[in-house]
Each structure stands twice: as structure tokens, then as C-alpha cells.
Structure 1
């Protein structure tokens, strides 16, 4: 129990970049995770090698291919003198850390992973409430800067980083509610969604908005599809009403047709204003274009870990290089096409495993992280790998079911440690 709480709070505090030691990538979260890793390695040495399960084999394959791709890129970068030493060292250390963490996570029993997820969700909700209170001066928290202009950053260094935490907290709490067996547990889990959702809005992070905007319709649509296919055999009043509402959609759309030009114009104006803010669109497109160019010039082999873009944003002082702020494009500059393909493979495997197990909210979480990866480099974040491991764990948590009978595993805190 203590180890699981240590892990949960380490994952939660891994986003608290304001609490890190100056000039280092280590802080409270990394310290807690390091202590947990040492304990897990000691326990592994005592118990012996774990069984080679499907989740473990998937994770081993990912890191073997990913390391190979990064190594080839590093050799090419050294040969062409295109390595930024401090950036390569920092990124390499981050990859090594999350590799060890993810491999140790994937060998944990599923019931322990879900217990950690409960602690992470509840602890995250409480922490976000305190951070919001601190941001509005209701709770004194010296040493923390809560705002970047008018954007809430919590305990992170920038709003998008805190937005990633809020995304995971919102959808992981939704998954707790989906899988809980008791009504009061569902209500409690749903209440844990509220603080991070409010904080995510306060960050004014477009990445948070887009990720949640994709994940929620995916969750609702998938749930409706499953219920609809069940209703073919067992019709119910609720499904009948839902079907009638769907059948009425064409009429509803026809009724709003006269207002379509005005709606489209307002949407276009909002997009233009958002992307024009701080030359956001110009910066991103320039970085993405340069990342593609570097990938092509390296023969799609990459140049090793670290940033490689010369088109620096104005806030980066020389001689630092920039990243593309897009996981696939950053990986192209580091490990080439092989690193990109293995990234797509592991996130797809986790998503499919969660969906086949009936854990629709967890599948939505993993998909939202893929959406988030289009705006930021997510593979260095421990909470990203925890979410992926939760998805992979579904491979042996339940046997694959047909879509018409998909039902999530009961993983509430008091659930028995057996299969549903």
C-alpha cells in the first residue's frame, strides 16, 4: 500500500516542474519515483524474473526498437556534427528514466495499477483544488508562481504542461467512474473530474481543449454504439428514445441551415485569433517544416536524442535549439521513421487493448494523449507511460469480448482482486 501511494504521488508530482532543483530535471516527483524504482528493483531481485506476459513483451519490444532507432540517429548525428550535447544528455536521461519506470509498471498486477490510479485521481483532485485556491490567493503557497500572464500553470513551468496533467486526471477519473460497481463510488469518481477540468480551462491550453474535445465524443459515441448493439436483442425504453433522437438529427440540422454561414464565420474567426496569438501558427508551422526537412536530410534515420531545430522561438536564448512540439516530428529528428512507427504501434496497441476490454474511458484517455502528442513531446512524461501501461494491462485483465457484450472490469477500491 505504501509503495503504491509513493508511486501515485511520484507520478502526480512529476509535473511539478517548479519544484525541481534549479538547473536540473530532478524534483519532488522524480525523487519519489526514484525511491519507488529502487524498491521495485529490490523486490524484483528478491522474487526473481517476472513472467513474460503480453504487456511486458510489448513494452520490451518498444524500448528495444526505440533504443536502436535513437542509437542509429545518435551515430549519424555524431558523424555529421549535428548533436547538441547538453540537450542530448537531458533527453537521453529522460528516456532512460521512463523506460525503467514503464517496464517496472507493466509487471505490476492489474489490481495494483488500478489502486495507484485511484490514489492518483483522488490526490490529483485535492492537489488541483489547493493549487486553484493558491492561485486566487486563498491559500498561501510561497515559492510558486501560479499564472503566466492570464494562463494558470499550477505547479508547472508552463500552462500546456499543467494542461497535460489535467487531461489525464479528467479522463482517468472518468474511467474510475465507468468501472466502479457502486453508485456512490461512481459519483465520487465523477466529482474528482471537476477540479482538473476547471483548472484545464483556466490554463487556456488549446491542447487541453482539443484533447478533451476529441476524447469525450469518442467515449459517448462508443458507449452509445455498444448500448445500441445490445438493444438489438433486448430493446429498452431508453434506447428507443435515443434512437428517435438520432433519427431526428437530420431535421434538426435542416432547421439550423440558415444560420450555418454565421456559425462558420464565428468558428473561423475564433481559430484565426487563437492561432495568431503570439504568432503561434507561424512558429509551429516553421518548426514543423524544419523538423520534416531534418528528417529527410538524415535519410529518415534521425540525429539522436535532443532538440535539433535551429528555427528558435524568440523566448529561447542562444545557443539552445528548439523542439518541434509534435511527438511524431520530434521523433523523426531523433530516431527517424523507425522511432515514429514504434511510437504509433505502442499507443495503438494500448488503445485497442483497453477498448476490447470494455474500458472505453481508458481508451478515450489514450486517444486523447495521442491527440496531445500532436502539439507536444509526450514520451518523456511518466504520466503518459502510466496511461499506456494501464491500457496494455487490459490485455490480461479480461478476456477479449465481442463489442455487443463489452463490460468494463470492476476496479473500484474495494473490488476483489479477481477477474470480473
Structure 2
């Protein structure tokens, strides 16, 4: 129980970059994760119990392919005599090693799926308590000290970047819903659904466009999957009647609603723009232009290496856009696939795609609808952010893989293929 709480605290605190000691590259979250890894390795040495299960094989295969891709990229980088920033290379390599050990050790437990589920409950409890404290500080109910919970008008809490807070909230919300949907008792269902409220509220306070899009898309996906589950659980005659009704009603409904859709098109567009952080103004356009410029440069740099990559670390020049001289050098693409393409080439991209798509198929087969929404959230955030190093990303992947592998055989036996 104590070891589980340490891991949950480590994942939650890993986003608290403002709480780090100045000049020290690690914080409380990284210390908790390292402590959990040390305790887990000690358990293996003392008890000698490792579960060579399907989830461990999946994640182990990915990390072996990814390590191969980074090794090839590092060799290419040395052979081309490129200037290398060893501090960023060390940072990325250490983060990848930490995440590889976290996922593999978490799924190597004899009861990995049950343990990860218990950690998920602790994670949601710690996250809600932490978010409530951050909101209280942000709204002046508590003293902030050196903490700066706002980035202009965007809430960031303990993080340096509001988008980082948005990512954690976007993942924790569906995870809490998953726990509520799969709980055995009513108190568990209530606690799970209640645990999703605070992450959703705080995520909206970050004014992240990606968070809003992820919540809308994942919510629609979850509703659609729940309809599928209801149809599969209903009697055959009821399913046939519902299917016939939908097929017959859809074209007629579309024709009837077409005039109304045309009439409100302008209002819908205005509403969508009002939801963005700058109502579609200069800030939104500047962000879009920056991302397009960086993505083009990333694709060009990856092709220059023959799709072999350049190893860990950022490898892009600062974007040639006015008022961007304050950005760091070297620069990242802020797109997970493109950043992996620069670092590990085509091998890293294929391995990552196999992991994400394979995990999504796994949870869909296991009828874990909320976890499928989690994968959707991660995929959307990966488009405009480099989420590969975040512990919340890897905890979510490990939870999906472990629960999917454990539940899929039971669902297959009940529903068939």
C-alpha cells in the first residue's frame, strides 16, 4: 500500500515544476518515482517474483525497439558532426530510462492490473486534493508564497506551463470515470464520477484549446462506445429493432435538420471561437503559425537524416518568426510523432504508432470504454505537445495495457469476437 501511494504521489507531483528547488533538475515527483523504482527492484531481488505476462511483453517490446531507434539516431548524430547539447541529451535519456523502468516494473507485478487500479484510485484522490489546494491558492483563499498559479489569465497551478496542467487534468478525468464505471459497489461508482469533476473544472481554467477539443472528442467517443456496449448487452430482438430504427431515421432526420444547420452555421462558428483562449484572435493565429513553421522544420530535419533520427534531445533551430527570440535553443517540434521522428527516425514512429493503436484496439476489445477515451485524449494532446516524457502518459498507457490484457479474455468469452 505504501509503495502504491509513493507511485501515485510521484505521478501527481511530477507536474509540480514550480515546487522544485531552483537550479535542481529534479523535484518531489521525480524523487518519489525513483524511490518507487528502487523499492520495486528490491522486491524483485528479495522475493524473486516477476510476472512475465502479456502486458509486460508488449511494453518491453516497445522499449527495446525505441532503444534501438535512439541508438541508431545517436550514431548518425555523431557521424554527421552535429553540435550536440549534452545536457538536453542526458535529460531525455534519463527521462526515457525512468519511464521504461516505471512501465515495465508496474506490469511485472504478479497482480499488476489490480495493483495499477489501486494506484489509480490513490492518484485520483491525491490529484483532487492537490487541485483543490491549487485553486484555493489561485483564488486568494490561501497564501501563495513563491507559487504563481496564474500565467496571465490562464491557470497553471504548480506547473510552469498551463498546457502541462491541462494534460494531467485531461487524463485524470477519464481515468476517474473509468474507475467509477467499473467499480463493483455504488460508493465506488459515486467516488469515481465525483473524482472527475475537479480535473475537468481545472482543465477548463487553463484555457487550453487542446484540452477543450480532447474533452469534446473523448466525450463523444465515450457516448458512442457506451451505445455499442448497450446494444451488445441488450436482447437480440431489441438490437435489431434499434438498428432498423437508426437506419431508417438517420436520412429523414438529416433532411429535416439541414435547413436549421445552414441557418445556425455562423452562430456555431462564433461559439467555437469563443471557447478558444483568445477567441480566435492574434494569440491563436500566432500559435498556429509557430506550430506549422516548427513542424515543417522537424519534417525536413528528419528527412535529412534518412529517417534514422539524431538521438535523444531537441535538434531544431529556433523558429524564424518575429518576437520569438526568447524561445530556447535547441528547439523541439512540440508534436510527439515529429519529435520522435527527429530523435529515433522511422523506427521510433512505427513503434510508437504500434503501441498507441495496439493499446486502443486492446481496450476496445476489452470493452473498457473510458480507457479508450484516455487513449483518444493522449493522441490529441500528442498532436500539439511532446507528451512522451510525462509520467502521466506512461501511467495511463500501463493502466490501459494491464487492464486490457486482464479483461479481454473474459469479454471475448462472453461476447465472442
Q: TM-score, normalised by structure 2?
A: 0.90
1:119 matched residue in structure 2? 122
1:414 matched residue in structure 2? none
2:180 matched residue in structure 1? 177
Find the aligned partners of 2:196 and 2:269 in 1 and give their Cα distance. 33
1:135 matched residue in structure 2? 138
**Displacement of 1:371 after TM fit?**
1.2
Find the aligned partners of 1:57 and 1:356 in 2 and give their Cα distance. 18
Find the aligned partners of 1:232 and 1:275 in 2 and give their Cα distance. 51
- Name structure 1 gaps, 5 residues minimum: 407-420
Please say if residues 226 and 404 of structure 1, whose CA atoms lie closer than 8 Å, have aligned partners that are also in contact.
no
Cα deviation per residue 1:157-182 (whole Å; 9 max; x = unaligned)? 10000001101111111101110122
1:415 matched residue in structure 2? none
- Name structure 2 gaps, 5 residues minimum: none
Aligned length: 405
Distance 1:286 1:181, change over 3 A: same
What is the SS of the residue equivalent to 2:213?
A: helix
Find the aligned partners of 1:186 and 1:255 in 2 and give their Cα distance. 42
What is the SS of the residue equivalent to 1:256?
A: helix
Find the aligned partners of 2:299 and 2:376 in 1 and give their Cα distance. 24
Cα deviation per residue 1:286-333 (whole Å; 9 max; x = unaligned)? 100000000110100111111111034756647721111100000111
Please say if residues 229 and 367 of structure 2, whose CA atoms lie closer than 8 Å, have aligned partners that are also in contact.
no
What is the SS of the residue equivalent to 1:303?
A: coil
**Displacement of 1:405 after TM fit?**
3.9
Instruction: Give yes or no for the alignment of 1:227 onto 2:230.
Output: yes
Find the aligned partners of 2:49 and 2:18 in 1 and give their Cα distance. 37
Please say if residues 318 and 329 of structure 2, whose CA atoms lie closer than 8 Å, have aligned partners that are also in contact.
no
2:54 matched residue in structure 1? 54
Please say if residues 341 and 348 of structure 2, whose CA atoms lie closer than 8 Å, have aligned partners that are also in contact.
yes
2:388 matched residue in structure 1? 379
Please say if residues 336 and 385 of structure 2, whose CA atoms lie closer than 8 Å, have aligned partners that are also in contact.
yes
Please say if residues 309 and 345 of structure 2, whose CA atoms lie closer than 8 Å, have aligned partners that are also in contact.
yes
Find the aligned partners of 2:12 and 2:414 in 1 and give their Cα distance. 36
Higher mean displacement: 377-386 or 244-253: 244-253
1:295 matched residue in structure 2? 302
**Displacement of 1:359 after TM fit?**
1.1
Distance 1:25 1:269, change over 3 A: same
**Displacement of 1:355 after TM fit?**
1.8
1:262 matched residue in structure 2? 266
1:305 matched residue in structure 2? 312
The counterpart of 1:201, out of the listed 204, 209, 212, is 204
Q: TM-score, normalised by structure 1?
A: 0.89
Find the aligned partners of 1:156 and 1:258 in 2 and give their Cα distance. 42
Cα deviation per residue 1:24-69 (whole Å; 9 max; x = unaligned)? 3310111111111110000011122523211111111111110110
Please say if residues 356 and 400 of structure 1, whose CA atoms lie closer than 8 Å, have aligned partners that are also in contact.
no
Instruction: Give yes or no for the alignment of 1:401 onto 2:408.
Output: no
Cα deviation per residue 1:267-294 (whole Å; 9 max; x = unaligned)? 6866795374161111100100000000
Find the aligned partners of 2:389 and 2:167 in 1 and give their Cα distance. 12
Distance 1:246 1:9, change over 3 A: farther
Matches within 5 A, 1:11-410: 11-48=11-48, 50-82=50-82, 83-108=84-109, 109=111, 110-233=113-236, 235=238, 247=250, 249-250=253-254, 253-263=257-267, 265-266=269-270, 273-274=279-280, 276-277=282-283, 279-312=286-319, 314=323, 317=326, 320-398=329-407, 399=409, 401-402=411-412, 405=415
Find the aligned partners of 1:63 and 1:196 in 2 and give their Cα distance. 30
Please say if residues 177 and 196 of structure 2, whose CA atoms lie closer than 8 Å, have aligned partners that are also in contact.
yes
What is the SS of the residue equivalent to 2:384?
A: coil
Find the aligned partners of 2:414 and 2:220 in 1 and give their Cα distance. 19
Distance 1:77 1:390, change over 3 A: same
